Structure 1
Amino acid sequence: MQYRRSRQAGGSYFFTLVTHSRRKILTDNDALELLRASFRRVKAKRPFLVDAMVVLPDHLHCIWTLPPDDHDFSTRWRLIKSRFSRYYRERRSSGRVHAVSGIECQPVWQNRYWEHLLRDEEDYRRHLDYIHYNPVKHGYTKSPVDWSWSSFRRYVLKGVYTEDWGSSAINLPQDVGRE
């Protein structure tokens, strides 16, 4: 099957990346630092903005905005995933990150990722809400403000959300994250 990705220079995109076999590895402190370092390294060579992000144990969601003359998110993700995988395996084999037994040779990430070109401000806001409500949706916390691995607090400081947003049920559109 041929996958077609929507590409727009300077566009804003929503992404979902999932660990291989949904292994819960991403919220280990060492793994999080490796993920941050991978992002920093790639951003230094191929700039982009991370507008919003949430990291859960087995997947992450984020919104990126690319530079006005650039639409190449695929290379950025390839570099982030490969760098993270290489250093994660090295640290796991040295015992510096939590190892999940029996997976030494398995991939770290699923092969593909979900991408969606955000069409307008309404689409952007719906995906922003989806990202920030995700830890509540998956039962990791009762309120987005309680989840450490999220850009939610940054948006509270900007006045986009109140601290108690998402502490009661939020009705998210059914198509967000599944377009």
Structure 2
Amino acid sequence: MQYRRYYHPGAAYFFTVVTARRRPLFDHPSVVGLLRQRVRQVKIQYPFVLDSMVVLPDHLHCIWVLPENDSDFSIRWRLIKSGLSRTLRETFGLKGPFWQPRFWEHFLRDERDWQRHRDYIHFNPVKHGLVRRVRDWPHSSFHRFVERGEYPEDWGGVVPDFRGVGKE
């Protein structure tokens, strides 16, 4: 079965991008910073709006909105992934592969779909047992949404500590 991507100019998409063999590349804040820098660089050449994002040790989720006349999210991901890979090799001497070959995208159909995916993004660190509260994960756009008053700081509540991680 061949996977077909849905390209629609000006659309909003939810993405999941995973590291090769679930390698925890983003365990180090400096690597998260390099990812953010690479995203900013690509946005200059190929603009898009980064609505929301979370970076976990071995994957990331985000929502992008493409320009009205542009539907090519693939080139943006190719440039982000290849550029960060090059930087990891040159700066840290790391060896690849760094990424799973593909990424997963979902065309956001309406506001309800969009909000559902935004909530999923922000709750993901809790879901994976990395923290007990959404606000405790540093690599998330959640904090920006709290500052703008779009989420309360205690959104998502406190999840019981079953695995000994994310203690208060």
TM over 0.5: same fold? yes
Alignment of 1:78-97 (within 5 A): 78-93=78-93
- Give the structure 2 partner of residue 115 of structure 1: 105
> Aligned equivalents of 1:6 and 1:55: distance in 2?
24
Q: Which residue of 2 aligns with 1:158?
A: 148
Q: Please give the alpha-carbon distance, in whole angstroms, between the structure 1 residues aligned to 2:141 and 2:87.
A: 24
Moved more, 2-11 or 68-77: 2-11
User: Matched residues in 1 for 2:30 and 2:85: separation?
Assistant: 13
Match of 1:72 in 2: 72
TM-score (norm 2): 0.91
- Tell me the distance in 1 between the aligned counterparts of 2:86 and 2:131: 31
Look up the SS of the partner of 1:47 in the other structure. coil
Within 5 A, what are the aligned runs for 1:1-179?
1-93=1-93, 104=95, 106-168=96-158
Segments of structure 2 that go 5 or more residues without pairing to the other structure are: 160-168
Q: How far apart are 1:2 and its partner, in Å?
A: 2.4
Instruction: Give the length in aligned residue pairs.
Output: 159
TM-score, length-normalised on structure 1? 0.85
Separation (CA, whole Å) in 2 of partners of 1:6 and 1:158: 32
Which digits, 9 at most, give the CA deviation of each residue in 1:78-100, with x for residues without a partner? Answer: 0000000011111221xxxxx6x
SS in 2 for 1:129: helix
Counting aligned pairs with the same residue, the percent is: 56
CA distance in 2, matches of 1:51, 1:17: 16
Asked if the contact 1:13–1:63 (Cα under 8 Å) also holds between the matched residues in 2, the reply is: yes
Structure 1: gaps of 5 or more residues:
94-98, 170-179
- Do the aligned residues in 2 keep the contact of 1:27 with 1:55 (CA within 8 Å)? no
The alpha carbon displacement at 1:156 in A equals 1.0
Shift >2 Å, 4+ stretches? none
Secondary structure of the residue aligned to 1:44 is helix
AA aligned opposite 1:57: P
Q: Deviations over 1:73-127 (max 9, x none)?
A: 000000000000011111221xxxxx6xxxx3x3100001110000000000000
Q: For 1:161 and 1:87, locate their aligned partners in 2 and report how far apart those are by CA, in whole Å.
A: 35
SS of the equivalent of 1:26 reads helix
